[in-house]
Amino acid sequence: MLNRAQIFSAIDALIAASEVSGERFAVLILRVPGLREISLRFGYSQGDQAEEMAHALIRQSLRPCDEVFRAGDDSFIVLLPTMLNANHALLAGTRLVQAFEQPLNGTASPWLVRPVMGIALHPEHGPSADRLCRRASMALDEAQRRGELCVLYQPYDTQIEIFYDELREALDANRLRVFFQPIWNLQENRIAGAESLARWSSPHHGEVSPANFVPFSEQSDLISVLTRWSVNTTLRHVASLPLSHDLRFAINFSPRVLSRPGMVEQLIGALEIWGVPPTAVIVEITETTLVNDLEMSVQVLRRLRDHGVHIAIDDFGTGYASIAYLRQFPATELKIDQSLIAAMNSEPHTAKLVRAIVNMAHHMDLTTTAEGIEDQHTRNLLVDMGCDFGQGFHLGRPQPALDFIAQFGSIGTTP
Ligand code: C2E
Ligand code: MG
Ligand code: MG
């Protein structure tokens, strides 16, 4: 942030004023992603002009008491005093979006840009300038993730700030647990293995979903620690099974971890230590990986596959790179995302799409696993389509690894 001191002192002044008046105010961070592109395409002087215009558009849509600051190449911070409630702040956001519905005419050719913004409110979202700016920034990240233009900070994000030390400590002290969710061979109607899913009961937050702590740990070194923990804990349980078992265990890998040096050696080393054959393990990678990571991941995964480990593309059908993945990825199976499976009953065209995915996968020598099977009808449809494996609450919920082993250690049961 360019003039952070200036912005922070303006926010401090609003905090002081609100202590007297009891009034709410909002900190809005606005990013105009197209601005940078104007500089790149038309030159820096055009870029500067466009930035001036953007500044003017923002100013025009605000009240005289509001303040605007530049906060970086393509970002602005707007302070909105005397907000009655959250809707009042969102309304200001909507006005800003509307201001940008006209092209920026100052440039060589009129250029349309779309702002994205995040909003935090005082007092509910933070007591200090630092906290408010960070939370508005988190809301902006969330807006970009969701493809929305304006997002209000959600208090559940507060977990993120307290997470690092807590999660690190929980990992170091081995206080996370591994759950196994059964995976069924749909065609032969028998247990085929399980997916390993991390569970964290935090003394402060209760049960924290991996959907929260995994993305968070991906932002730091914690993802390596989490993955190492998950590999070792899963393999320790697998090693306790009778040697004759023919179950396969899926472990989730973040693409960020895959591109770290020594990853393959670590996994292979762990397989040797626990005496687990590589063919008993499936490495799951989500399809939403950044394309940037693709080349590196492909190399790493190819080495794992050469070693005998199975590779599954997780959540297939939700990402944007499905076809590119299929062309390049050394995958051995596709896991069809639960959003598609859940919609099959009510949407005949989605059922057709799933059938087509199963056929396509088979043509490419990939096996298919349907995620999120919640009822018998969906299961029947999938059996009929020739889908190989299935997973979902109808077939078995994630359960403590020891319970799974007690139930399925001696194989052959039906659900
Ligand atoms: P995933 O790999 O796609 O795992 C499947 C998720 O779907 C699990 O959520 C599971 O509980 C849930 N699920 C299974 N069957 C059903 C169903 O019938 N209906 C519905 N609605 N949901 C079902 P969970 O355990 O919350 O995990 C969320 C995600 O977090 C996982 O998605 C995976 O990407 C990630 N994750 C979990 N454990 C780990 C881990 O140890 N390491 C890494 N890197 N990621 C993990
Ligand atoms: Mg998975
Ligand atoms: Mg999945």
Centre of ligand 3 from the C-alpha of residue 275, in Å = 27
pLDDT digits (tens, 9 = 90+) for 156-211: 644 455 568 888 999 999 889 999 999 999 999 999 999 999 999 888 778 888 98
The closest alpha carbon to 351, from 359, 362, 360, 340, belongs to 340
Task: Quote the CA–CA distance of 394 and 371 in Å, as a whole number.
Answer: 11
Q: Whose CA is nearest to atom 29 of ligand 1?
A: 211
Rounded to the nearest whole angstrom, what is the distance from the C-alpha of residue 256 to the centroid of ligand 2? Answer: 15
- Mean pLDDT value across residues 227-247: 93
pLDDT reported for residue 412: 44
Kindly report, as residue ranges, where domains of CATH 3.20.20.450 are found in the chain: 165-407
Q: Would you tell me which CATH number, out of the four given (3.60.15.10, 1.10.1370.30, 3.20.20.450, 3.40.50.300), belongs to the domain 165-407?
A: 3.20.20.450
Q: Residues with Cβ < 8 Å from 250, sequence gap 6 or more?
A: 183, 193, 194, 195, 196, 281, 282, 283, 284, 312
What was the pLDDT predicted at 346?
93
Q: Which residues line ligand 1 (CB under 6 A)?
A: 181, 197-198, 209-211, 214, 226-227, 230, 252-254, 284, 286, 314-315, 338, 371-374, 391-393, 398
pLDDT, residue 2, reads: 56
pLDDT, residue 414, reads 46
Most confident of 143-152, 295-304, 363-372, 401-410: 363-372
Comparing 254 with 229, which gets the higher pLDDT?
A: 229
Q: How far is the CA of 415 from the centre of ligand 1 (A)?
A: 20
Q: Which of 354, 307, 321 is nearest to 335 (CA)?
A: 354
Torsion angle of C-alpha atoms 92, 94, 96, 102, degrees rounded to 10: -150
Instruction: Give 382-404 as a DSSP string.
Output: HHHHT--EE-STTT---EEHHHH
Which atom of ligand 1 lies at the shortest distance from residue 286's CA? 34
Identify the H or E element spanning 295. helix 294-306
Of ligand 1's atoms, which has the minimum distance to the CA of residue 197? Answer: 38
Does residue 37 surpass a pLDDT of 90?
no
Contact between residue 340 and residue 354 where contact means Cβ atoms under 8 Å apart:
yes
What's the rounded Cα separation, in Å, for the pair 357 and 334?
9
Q: Which ligand is located closest to the Cα atom of residue 283?
A: 2
DSSP-assigned beta bridge partners for residue 120? 27
197 CA distance to ligand 1 middle (Å): 6
Task: Return the CATH fold of 4-152.
Answer: Alpha-Beta Plaits (3.30.70)
- Please report the atom of ligand 1 found closest to the CA of residue 391: 15
Q: Residue 191: name the closest of 390, 393, 406 by CA.
A: 390
- How many whole angstroms from 339 Cα to the centroid of ligand 3? 10
Q: What is the pLDDT of residues 43-91, one digit of tens each?
A: 888 888 889 999 999 999 999 999 999 998 889 999 999 999 999 999 9
What pLDDT, on the 0 to 100 scale, is given for residue 403? Answer: 96
Residue-level pLDDT at 36: 86
Highest mean pLDDT, choosing among 2-11, 289-298, 332-341: 332-341
Count Cβ atoms within 10 A of the Cβ of residue 282 and give its class: 0-12 exposed, 13-18 middle, 19 or more buried.
buried
Cβ pair 225, 264 in contact under 8 A: no
Tell which one of 209, 212, 214 to mutate to probe ligand 1, the residue whose CB is within 8 A of the most ligand atoms.
Answer: 214
Ligand 1 center from residue 198 Cα (angstroms): 8
Distance 127 CA to ligand 2 centre (A): 39
Give the chain's radius of gyration (CA, Å): 25
Q: Please name the residue whose Cα sits nearest to atom 8 of ligand 1.
A: 197
> Ligand 1 atom closest to Cα of 393?
18
Atom in ligand 1 nearest the alpha carbon of residue 217: 44
pTM (2 decimals)? Answer: 0.74
Which residues belong to CATH 3.30.70.270 in the chain?
Answer: 4-152
- Ligand 1 pocket: which of 251, 252, 285 to mutate (most atoms within 8 A of CB): 252
Q: Which residue puts its alpha carbon closest to atom 17 of ligand 1?
A: 372
Report whether pLDDT(114) > 50: yes
> Over the chain, what is the mean pLDDT?
89
Mutation choice for ligand 1 from 176, 197, 345, CB with most ligand atoms inside 8 A: 197
Predicted confidence (pLDDT) at residue 321 exceeds the cutoff of 70: no
- Per-residue pLDDT band for 110 (boundaries 50, 70, 90) equals confident
Confidence of residue 35 (pLDDT cuts 50, 70, 90): confident
